[in-house]
Each structure stands twice: as C-alpha cells, then as structure tokens.
Structure 1
Amino acid sequence: MKYVPDSLRWLIAITGVLIVIGCLNIYSSTYYMDIYDGGSAYKHISNHILFLLGGIFAAWIAVKLGTNKIRQGAWLWFIAVFLLLILVKFAGISVNGANRWIMLGPMSLQPSELAKVAGIIWTAAFLAKRINNKEPITVFYGILNRPMGKRRKRRGLVHHFLPILCPAVLATIVLLQPDMGTAAIILFFPGLLYILAGMPFLEILAGIVTAVCLGGYLAVVSAYRAERMAILWDPFADPLGAGYQIVRSLTAVGSGGFWGQGPGEGVYKFLYLPEQHTDFAYAVFSQEFGFIGSVVVMCLFMGFLMCGFSCARQLKQPYESLLVYGLTLLISVQGIINMAMVIGCFPVTGIPLPFISYGGTSLLTNVISVGLIWGAVISGREKSDIEERRRMIKAMEGQLAPSGRKSFNHF
C-alpha cells in the first residue's frame, strides 16, 4: 500500500478492533431486548451490520474520490445535510421528545450525525483557502481593522464568517430539534480547526468566553438541562428521578469488578439500564469485561487520537491536514465524552460511543470519517511527492541552464 504511513495503518487497525468490540457488545446488549419485544434476537445486530457494510462502501468511495473532489463538493455536503435537517423538522419521527430521525423503510437516518462531518469538511476547505492565500485566520479583527465602504463591509462580513457559517446554520437547526449536545459538537470541532489554523490568541479567548456564556445560558434557560447539570454533582440524591440513568450506569460499571462478569454474562442489559445499547453501551461492556476491558477501550481511543494526529502532522497541505485533525478529534473526543458520561463525570448528553454504541447513522458517519482520513493521507502524500519532484526538476534545470542544455520541465 503505497503512500500509507505506519500511523495510518495503526489507525485503521484500531478502528477494526473498535468495530469488532461494537458488534459483540451490541449483540450482547440487545438480544434479550429484541426477544422481549417479540422479534428476532438478531434484529439490532443485523441493522448494525447493514450500516457497517454501507459505511465501508462509502468509505471506499471517499478514498477513491480523493480530497480534491471532496473539497470541491463542500457546498453539496452542506446543501444535502441542510435539506435533510429541514426534512426532519417537517417529516421526522419523535423519540423521547426529540425530533431527530427520518424513516427509510425499516431503518432510520439521523441527519444531525452527518452534519458533524459536513461542518468539518466545510470549515477545513475555507480555512485552507485562506492559508494558501496567506490571509489571516481571524473572524472579528480583520473586519474591524479594514477600512471599507458599506458594501465592501458586508462582503467582508460574509468572507470572514464563511468558514464557520455552515456549522452555525446546521447547529442552529439541530438545536431546535432539540439536541443541544449534538449542536455543540457541530460547532465545537470547526472552532478547534480555527485554533489549529493559527487564530490569534485574543480571538481564541473571545471565542471561548462567547461559547461558555452561550452554553451556560442555554443550559440554565431550560429546566430539563439545568436539572441534568445539577444532578451531576450528586446523582444519588435522586436515584429514582433525575439521577436514575447515572446511578444505574455507575452500578453496572462497578459490578464488573476488575475482570468483569464475562462476555454475555452482564445482568444490567436485562432492561435494568436505560439506553443500554446506545448512550450507555460502555456501561454494559464495563460490566462484562471489567476494569481491564474498560481501560482497553480508553486506550484504543487515545491510540486513535495519537495516530490521527501523527497522520495530520505529516501532511504539508493545509486542507488535508485540517481535515484529518478535525475528523480525528471528532471521533476521539466523542468517545472520551461518552465514557466520562457513563462514569458520572459529564452530563448525560446523548453523544454515542463511536463504533460501539448502537446507531446506524453514527456508525455510518464514523466509518466514512475514517475513509476520509485515509483518502486525505494518501492524497496529501501523493501531492507532496509531486511537489518534491517539481523542486528537484527546477533544481536540476538551474544547474543545467548555464551550459545551454535544453530544459525538460514537463509540468
């Protein structure tokens, strides 16, 4: 496999291990639930494998397309996800008071998961364009310090806000579903790309203050969100009410002990733990594989993060590098947040554990993200090789020119 560094090989291997763990855990956590509902014991795992195969096929397409076509299609990504989110608003199905899914025959699609990747693709494309044009990576400073007329001022506003415009629009629609956790994710990672692209410190500080103030306001203005934040400090104060999920999750994790109760032997999946196959899949896994298994999964996500960053650092092209950074952070940080939520260190937000939680669109999106990382690394290294050959040819031309020999530049 030419152009594939060891860090990418390890990243793909880690992804494969996480996928296998996810398949085993989903079967273990859903077979009783499926039988209890009067259906086949293989209902959830069958759907999971179908989405996995679809994700692998889509990832293969992403690798074959290459990053140039992905970047050129950033507008199409945005428009497609935007229309799907609008469709959810008017024709979606509601689960637990949130309207997030579209039915596709026997299966459902959650467009907000696709919005996470669309936002990163968009922001990486426009920030890379600024870097290539040697423009400053700013939002407010460049507008306020550029003398111009009203018409040019408006154009300046659009120009400076363009990289974050797509994620902001998508996050606003998702927030209305309502889904504050996913909306925050859609905005958070494009914001990190600004920092990685070289945003000035004062603007980073202003962005953090704005995000904290806005997030705090949205958290306290809703009684439901405020209750979730408050119960985090002592979930056992209301074990049958607001703290029920966290208490059950902590009990499941703790009952696994050091070595676990054994594969398929956990009892909390027998409808004792809410959302045992989605938000709290890690709790089921921890009960069956114990402290050792829990730490292994944590290490796998940390390894994914390190390998992804290693791949991104080797890329010299701004777009490919930012895309790999963004997608690596998207998968790794979501994993860290979910695991922290399961052990009571983070509010219950509904953010799934990548590759392990049940959720067709989430799995599809994560596998596609790995395909995009793979494609970006291959494309970036190919471009670097081409640029290196061009530099060598120019250097050789410089040596041959004084002797009057004919140039052989084919580019």
Structure 2
Amino acid sequence: MKPSRGTPDFLLLFLTLGMVGFGIVMIFSASFTISYWNMGSRWFFTQRQLIWAGLGMFLMLFTMNIPFKYYKKHFLLILVVSFILLLSVFIPGLGIKLNGSRSWIGLGSFTIQPAEFAKLGLIIYLAALISKKQEKMKDFKKGLMPCIIVTLIFFILIALQPDYGTALILATTAGIMIVVGGARLKHIFYIILIGIAVIPFIIFSADYRISRFTSYLEPWSDPYGSGYQLIQSLIALGNGGILGTGFGKGIQKFFYLPYPQSDFIFSVIGEELGFIGVTIFILIYLSLLWRVLIISLRSNNSFGTLIGVGFVSLFAVQAFINIGGVTGTIPITGVTLPFVSAGGSSLIVSMTAIGIILSLSRENNKSTQ
C-alpha cells in the first residue's frame, strides 16, 4: 500500500486565519487617521496588509503542500539564501535605511526585511543540524559549536544594521532550540553568562539605547522625549479599562501614540477592547502556539519536533518583547506583534512558518490507501 499525505490540521489553519483577520481589522482601526493624513486614504495601511496577507496565504498553502522531508533535505540551501539576504542590506543601492537602521532591501516601493527571513532559515538549519547530530550535542566542539557559530554570524549581521530587538529574538529562539536539542546545561550556563556580560555593552554603546533604558526605568523623567512612547502607550492601556472604549473609538491613535498600526498595535487593542478583550486575544494567541507545539510533539522524528519548538519559541519570544515593551514590563525594542502588526515581511514569514507546520501535520495524519 502506498502511503499518502494526510489532511492538514484545520484548527491551526483557522486559528491562523482568525489571528491574521483580527490583525487587519485592528490595523484599520489603528491607522485610518494617520493613513488619511499622510497618504490621503484611510485604507492605505489596511490595503497594504491585505496584499501581504494574500501573499502570505499563498506561501502558507504552498509550503503546506511541500512534503515535510524536503525542508530537512534542503536546509543548507535555505540557510545560504537567508545569509545572502542578510548581506544584501549592506549593498549600496539595494539596502534601504529607515529610522536609523539599514534593515530593508527593495526596488521602488517594494521592500522586504531580510532579518525576518533569517529567523526562518536559522530555525530550519538548527532543527536539521541538531536532529542529525543527536547525542553529539553534548560534545561542545562536535555538536554545540557549529550551532553557536552560525547563530552568532546571523546575530552580528542583524546587530550591525542595527536591529538589536530582532537579533535578541533570533538568539533567544536559537538558545531554546539548543537546550531542547540536548546540549549540556553546563555549556548553556556559560553561554548565558557571556550573554549577560555583553548586554551592558549593547545598552551603553549608543545614546538612543541608553535613553530607552532610562525611560523604561523612569519614563516621566523625560515625558516629551525618551519617555514619550511608553507614557502614551500606558495612557492608551489605562483608557481601555475593563471593557475598552469600543472598536474604532480609541483616542491615543490620533497622533499621540507612535506607530499605532505596527509596534504599538497592542496598545490600541488594549484601549479599544479593554482588559477583557486583551485577555481573550492572548488566550487565542496562546491556543495557536499550543496547537503548533502539539503538532510538533506528535512528529515521529526529532526534526519535526525541533521545527515546532523553534517556531513556538519565535512567536512567543517576539510577542513577549512586543507586549512587554508597550506595557513597560521591559524596555521598548520596536519589534512587531506576529500575525497582527502591520508589516509585510513579518506577516509573510509567520504565515510561511505555519505552512511548514501544516505540512508536518499532514505528515502526522498520513494514512495508507
């Protein structure tokens, strides 16, 4: 009997589409004022997100229909493409500098952020390498060293843009995968110590990062400067209360809150939907992550499990950094909320990652005919 591929996990598919749809609705609410003021159309950011969502849907369905074994077979090719994309931001005429960071490449109005695709490439690479080495992961030179070297190269290339928020997400995700992959806790402990020693250097190596850190500790010390973003975000969340002001009725998006459609969209959600709405949103988001984890744990090979762990870690860490920043729990780093914030590269990569997990679910559900 010839084995056939099974059906995809429809619960994960519906959760993903629901999250993306919710994001589009909230982007319209958050951006229609600044969109009209800057672009002459209330729908500018919403239309762009719809286009990116359509492309993300295509890539999700495309990757879902690629047999899962091919991701492990071509992991080096995927890594090399990710590496070339990261290097391309430094090429004059191709790399684009926005808001002080050279993090984009593009031609005309079409731009992509290679660091987002690097997350995908590194997760697939680490999953393939760790699953191949298995017990060698306990050996520092033969198992752990190759993982650390590639992760460090990607981290440095992203930090040089500079984009320390994305670099931190990538490094943390890689660290979780390495721990789950069986590395010795002693080796992990030493790596964490080195990371802790590097953090002060990163913070104090640039004036704007020092300002972000001090504003995190005491935003009211500079309410119209470094503390402005956090203060406006906290005001938005405070305005929301328990039930929220109602969809579309938030105040802070009217030129008070910076980047309400992207970095601070969670603040808009909190203001308009309130504590109850935010709680429901987080529970649905956690359900999506839990479903990805369940699918990966059902895999009959370590590569599938590690892919799922990598994607869950990526989405969870990035969401924590975004929500933690806008709520004042941690310093603001300027990263997007996966599936929800405006941004083409982030949405495409997130939906592509779900497509890969859906391919894994089809592999888990295959039956003989």
Bucket of the pairwise TM-score, normalised by the shorter protein: over 0.9
Which range is displaced more, 304-313 or 20-29? 304-313
Within-5 A mapping of 1:85-164: 85-90=86-91, 91-131=94-134, 135-138=135-138, 140=140, 143=141, 160-164=144-148
Given that residues 266 and 288 in structure 1 are in contact (C-alpha distance below 8 angstroms), is that contact kept between their aligned partners in structure 2?
yes
For 1:296 and 1:375, the matched residues in 2 are separated by: 28
Q: Residues 35-92 of structure 1: CA distance to partner in whole angstroms, max 9, x if unpaired?
A: 1124322221111111111111111121111222112222222222222222211222
Structure ID, larger Rg? 1
Q: 1:375 to 1:187 in 2, by over 3 A?
A: same
Equivalent residue number for residue 370 of structure 1: 354
For 1:171 and 1:76, the matched residues in 2 are separated by: 19
TM-score, L = length of structure 1: 0.83
Within-5 A mapping of 1:196-215: 196-215=180-199
Q: Residues 154-179 of structure 1: CA distance to partner in whole angstroms, max 9, x if unpaired?
A: xx5xx652234333222211110011
Over the aligned positions, Cα root-mean-square deviation in angstroms equals 2.1
For 1:92 and 1:220, the matched residues in 2 are separated by: 26
Which range is displaced more, 315-324 or 73-82? 73-82
Amino acid at match of 1:359: G
**1:65 aligned counterpart, secondary structure:** coil
For 2:88 and 2:249, the matched residues in 1 are separated by: 41
Runs of 4 or more above 6 Å deviation: none
For 1:2 and 1:80, the matched residues in 2 are separated by: 28
Amino acid at match of 1:264: G
Which range is displaced more, 9-18 or 284-293? 9-18
Equivalent residue number for residue 75 of structure 2: 74
Q: 1:381 to 1:244 in 2, by over 3 A?
A: same
Q: 1:312 to 1:250 in 2, by over 3 A?
A: same
Within-5 A mapping of 1:9-408: 9-90=10-91, 91-131=94-134, 135-138=135-138, 140=140, 143=141, 160-382=144-366
Alpha-carbon offset, residue 381 of structure 1: 4.9
Stretches of structure 1 lacking an aligned partner (at least 5 in a row)? 144-155, 390-411
For 2:23 and 2:106, the matched residues in 1 are separated by: 23
Stretches of structure 2 lacking an aligned partner (at least 5 in a row)? none
For 2:45 and 2:223, the matched residues in 1 are separated by: 29
Alpha-carbon offset, residue 206 of structure 1: 1.4
Given that residues 123 and 164 in structure 1 are in contact (C-alpha distance below 8 angstroms), is that contact kept between their aligned partners in structure 2?
no
TM-score, L = length of structure 2: 0.93
Aligned residues: 364
Given that residues 212 and 332 in structure 2 are in contact (C-alpha distance below 8 angstroms), is that contact kept between their aligned partners in structure 1?
yes
Identity percentage of aligned residues: 29
Given that residues 278 and 352 in structure 1 are in contact (C-alpha distance below 8 angstroms), is that contact kept between their aligned partners in structure 2?
yes
